[in-house]
Structure formats: structure tokens, C-alpha cells
Amino acid sequence: MGNISGFGLPSGSIWRIVTNILVWMLGLFGIIGILGFLISGIIYLTAAGDEDRMGYAKRAMQYSIIGVIVGLVGFVIIQAIDYALNTYSSF
């Protein structure tokens, strides 16, 4: 059981695996945020003066912005915890 390479498991450290997953998720989150902006912009442009559709597009854009901000704040918090736990020094 000392050699786990035959089980198809990653050979990196747990922290490296978690970091790679978080970076992958951040990229996916960014793509979803851009798609949210794009879709709400298209809905707004095709509203043709319909107040209900314009309101729907504005709310969708607000939710997209809030989602991206929450995601970025989460990433910053994770980086701050990593910095605090690893106690990097500038010397």
C-alpha cells in the first residue's frame, strides 16, 4: 500500500491538487460570468423598448456582477489564508 501510483491517483501534494482545482474553477467561473454578461446584454439589446425585458436584462446583469464579485472575493480570501498559513517572508 506504500506505492499508490498503480491506482491512478495524482502524485502531487494535496495542497497542489486543491490549488489546481481552485484555479480551474476560477477559470470556469470567469467564463460563466462573461457568458452572463453577454446573454444579459443581448437580452437588453433585443428588448426593443419592452420595459419588462429591459428590467429582466438589468437584473440579470446585476446578478452576474454580484456573482463575479463574490467569486473574486472568495479567491482573495483563499489566497490570504494561504499567505497567512505559509507565512511567506519578504526577506
In a domain, 1, yes or no: no
What is the predicted pLDDT for the residue at 62?
Answer: 94
Nearest to 43 by CA among 35, 53, 28, 29: 53
In a domain, 6, yes or no: no
In a domain, 57, yes or no: yes
- How many angstroms separate the CA atoms of 61 and 33, rounded? 10
- When divided into structural domains, the chain yields a total of 1
In a domain, 49, yes or no: yes
Give the domain range for residue 17. 13-83
Name the grid cell of 47.
428588448
In a domain, 66, yes or no: yes
Question: What is the pTM (predicted TM-score) of this model?
Answer: 0.67
Mean per-residue pLDDT for 56-60?
Answer: 94
Give the count of beta carbons closer than 10 Å to the beta carbon of residue 16: 11
Mean per-residue pLDDT for 11-17?
Answer: 74
In a domain, 75, yes or no: yes
